[in-house]
């Protein structure tokens, strides 16, 4: 089968590799590029050593299955790239996102066919009514919901999202749907225009920023200085969420006064657990058109390199790779 391989140093290449041969196979119809994929392509990643197949936000069609799963070849599905065990210490202590015994699909999904371990099918696969590519966004939305849960947002909260990339935008869309006052801070004028087109308030003027007060701030840009700024800016008693990943050796200079005298809480998360994945699926199902708008580009597998370059230039929100 064909696979779009990340071969290191900002290089993607389509290679012929052996097709998986497990009992449950999914033919990938589309997989969106995640910020993590882009970061890996740009600068490498400790978990994803080249040559490897990236991509984990995908939907597809069952290609092979034993009868007992209840699926038939041809069924459309969205698949969680991993899922918690439900039994380990982390799962039992209410942090399933940190499960120590996760099940994973066997490879990345920038390829023609992905194997799902049989033991994970019941938990990790959701049936679709038809071939709708929007469901590739289930995984990123699940990650966003995890962050919003942590922030315990109340109806009266005023929320600032720093960064109007795909994750910041998904967070804004979700909060707006719940009637929460939200604003996105985004400096790229093209992105600002898109956000406004989608009915998402965004503003970056200094005067506006100086007068606004925020109960919760989500930092969805990987710039440490913006986290410090958020800590200083958030209302006393408010919360700051470090949602964008930073290099693992980054140390944040947080003023103790903010924590001790101003009761500011700082938190962060990455990934999701299955309840959030299922909620994300239900949310997209309720309003697919709204989420579809986020997938601004679609590229065939062969143009994977061009897709990465387009995303790196900031010209797209979500790009889908279609094998």
**Where do contacts with Zn ion occur on this chain (CB under 5 A)?**
34, 57, 84-85, 88, 91, 99, 101, 140
**Eight-class DSSP state of 207:** H
Nearest distance from C-beta of residue 82 to Zn ion, angstroms: 11
Nearest distance from C-beta of residue 87 to Zn ion, angstroms: 6
Nearest distance from C-beta of residue 4 to Zn ion, angstroms: 16
Nearest distance from C-beta of residue 167 to Zn ion, angstroms: 9
Nearer to Zn ion, 36 or 192 (CB): 36
Nearer to Zn ion, 23 or 35 (CB): 35
Nearest distance from C-beta of residue 211 to Zn ion, angstroms: 35
Integer angstrom CA distances of residue 87 from 92, 111, 209, 266, 308: 6, 32, 45, 28, 38
Give the integer Cα–Cα distance in Å for 241 and 230: 9
Contacts with 105 (C-beta within 8 Å, 6 or more apart), sequence order: 56, 79, 81, 82, 114, 115, 116, 117, 120, 124
Nearer to Zn ion, 5 or 34 (CB): 34
The burial of 5, by beta-carbon neighbours within 10 Å (0-12 exposed, 13-18 middle, 19 or more buried), is given as: buried
187: alpha, beta or left, given left = phi > 0 and alpha = psi -120 to 50?
alpha
Nearer to Zn ion, 114 or 234 (CB): 114
Cβ neighbours around 274 below 10 Å, total: 19
Nearer to Zn ion, 40 or 65 (CB): 40
Nearer to Zn ion, 54 or 62 (CB): 54
Nearer to Zn ion, 87 or 177 (CB): 87
Nearest distance from C-beta of residue 116 to Zn ion, angstroms: 17
Nearest distance from C-beta of residue 148 to Zn ion, angstroms: 16
* Helix residue ranges, H only, the chain: 35-43, 89-92, 118-124, 138-151, 166-177, 189-197, 206-211, 224-233, 256-260, 274-286, 288-292, 304-312
Judging by DSSP bridges, how do beta strands 318-322 and 295-300 pair with one another? parallel
Judging by DSSP bridges, how do beta strands 76-79 and 57-64 pair with one another? antiparallel
Q: Are 30 and 58 in contact (CB under 8 A)?
A: yes
């Amino acid at each position: 089968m064909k696979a779009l391989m990340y071969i290191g140093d900002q290089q993607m290449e389509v290679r012929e590799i052996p097709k998986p041969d497990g009992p449950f196979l999914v033919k990938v119809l589309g997989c969106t590029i995640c910020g993590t994929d882009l970061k890996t392509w740009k600068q490498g990643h400790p978990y994803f050593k080249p040559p490897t197949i990236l991509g984990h936000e995908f939907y597809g069609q069952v290609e092979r299955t034993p009868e007992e799963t209840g699926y038939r070849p041809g069924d459309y599905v969205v698949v969680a790239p991993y899922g918690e065990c439900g039994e380990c210490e982390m799962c039992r202590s209410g942090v399933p996102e940190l499960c120590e015994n996760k099940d994973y699909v066997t490879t990345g999904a920038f390829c023609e066919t992905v194997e799902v371990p049989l033991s994970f099918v019941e938990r990790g696969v959701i049936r679709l009514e038809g071939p709708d590519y929007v469901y590739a966004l289930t995984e990123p939305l699940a990650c966003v919901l995890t962050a919003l849960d942590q922030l315990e947002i109340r109806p009266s909260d005023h929320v600032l999202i720093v960064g109007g990339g795909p994750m910041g935008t998904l967070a804004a869309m979700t909060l707006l749907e719940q009637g929460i006052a939200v604003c996105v801070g985004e400096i790229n004028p093209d992105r600002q225009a898109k956000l406004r087109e989608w009915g998402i308030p965004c503003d970056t003027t200094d005067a506006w920023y100086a007068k606004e007060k925020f109960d919760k701030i989500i930092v969805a840009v990987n710039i440490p200085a913006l986290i410090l700024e958020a800590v200083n800016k958030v209302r006393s008693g408010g919360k700051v969420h470090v949602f964008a990943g930073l290099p693992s050796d980054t140390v944040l200079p947080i003023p103790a006064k903010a924590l001790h005298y101003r009761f500011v809480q700082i938190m962060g998360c990455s990934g999701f657990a299955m309840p959030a994945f299922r909620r994300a699926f239900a949310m997209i199902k309720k309003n697919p058109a709204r989420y579809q708008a986020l997938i601004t580009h679609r590229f065939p597998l062969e143009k994977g390199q061009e897709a990465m370059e387009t995303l790196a230039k900031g010209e797209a929100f979500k790009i889908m790779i279609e094998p």
